Amino acid sequence: MRNKVNKFLTLPVCMNKISVIIPVYNEENVIRETVASLRPYLEQLTSGYEIICVNDGSTDSTPALLDEMKEITVIHHKTNRGYGASLKNGIRNAQFNHILIIDADGTYPVSSLPEMLKPYLKNGLDMLIGSRTGANTTYPFVKKVPKYFIRKYANYITGKNTGDFNSGFRIFKKDVAMRFFDLYPDGFSFTTTITVSMLCKGYYVDFIPVDYFKRVGKSKIAPVKDTINFFRLLTRLAIFFRPLKLFMPVVFALLAISLIFIVRDVFILRDLTQSTVLFPILTSLFFLMGLMADMIARKF
């Protein structure tokens, strides 16, 4: 069994109340099992909890199944608004400051909750992310390649090792998450945005390896489209939080080109060309734009 109750359930209550948010879209085959697997851990590891299932316009029997479940909060979207929109709605309605998000499709191991809660509480973290790098990880190779380059780009922007920055299995503080609420998109890049935002602003974020199982049902992710969107999102976040990370490489490249043209004109052509005038001007403009963007970013 994927989420078999383990020995860590003998631990005493280790944290206060927690809100669990599960975005759900057409998960009629697994949603009952996912919710049921959470309860034993939450009852043993917390002093109280709530489970919020956000039905994102499901067209199968998921809405009816959710309404039949007792002791959970169900939020229905009339139309499919997106993964991020579901999480944002759940966060708005969460009663407690500690929030756990997990997918409904059974891909994340609920049995890792004790191991996640311990460092989250002990180290006073603002967010702990379950990184899909455990021993039993089913992750298609076609997704690993773009994910590698996206992670390297995120590392460059944040200046830190981001690990699995877009994992959908994580614990974080609501009051911290709300500080970046206006930045969160409605799509799958919600998790990327909250991770990069917290890291760039110096909040305590850590990663812990967890397993990742083959999902039940069909994936809602479009690899090519979502990969392009991830790069676009990271670029926007870089401009917002760390603009010099983008502008300075361009400035240095333009400066190098300017020097090449100057050397050519002075020592070879012995004449001043348009390129020699244009590139220093462009270099200065990009440098000033970077400085202005950095000044604005520091005020956020």
Give me the pLDDT at residue 220, please: 59
Indicate whether 11 pLDDT > 60. no
Confirm whether 96 is domain-assigned.
Answer: yes
pLDDT band at 145 (very low <50, low <70, confident <90, very high): confident
pLDDT band at 218 (very low <50, low <70, confident <90, very high): low
Nearest to residue 158, comparing CAs of 58, 249, 245, 247? Answer: 245
Of residues 91 and 217, more confidently modeled: 91
Residue-range definition of the domain harbouring residue 283? 243-298
Give me the pLDDT at residue 1, please: 40
Do residue 165 and residue 257 come from a single domain? Answer: no
What's the chain's average pLDDT? 90
Q: What span, in angstroms and rounded, lies between the C-alpha atoms of 81 and 275? A: 49
Q: What is the mean pLDDT of residues 253-265?
A: 94
Q: Which of 195, 219, 241 is the last residue of a domain?
A: 241
Percent of the chain with pLDDT over 70: 90
Indicate whether 53 pLDDT > 90. yes
Q: What span, in angstroms and rounded, lies between the C-alpha atoms of 106 and 84? A: 19
Amino acid at 143: K
Indicate whether 5 pLDDT > 80. no
Do residue 76 and residue 139 come from a single domain? Answer: yes
Number of H helices, E strands in the chain: 10, 7
Q: Tokens 């879209």 belong to which residue?
A: 25
pTM: 0.86
Confirm whether 1 is domain-assigned.
Answer: no
Do residue 145 and residue 28 come from a single domain? Answer: yes
3-state helix, strand, coil in the chain (%, to 5): 55, 15, 35
Confirm whether 281 is domain-assigned.
Answer: yes
Q: To which H or E segment does residue 219 belong?
A: none
pLDDT band at 16 (very low <50, low <70, confident <90, very high): confident
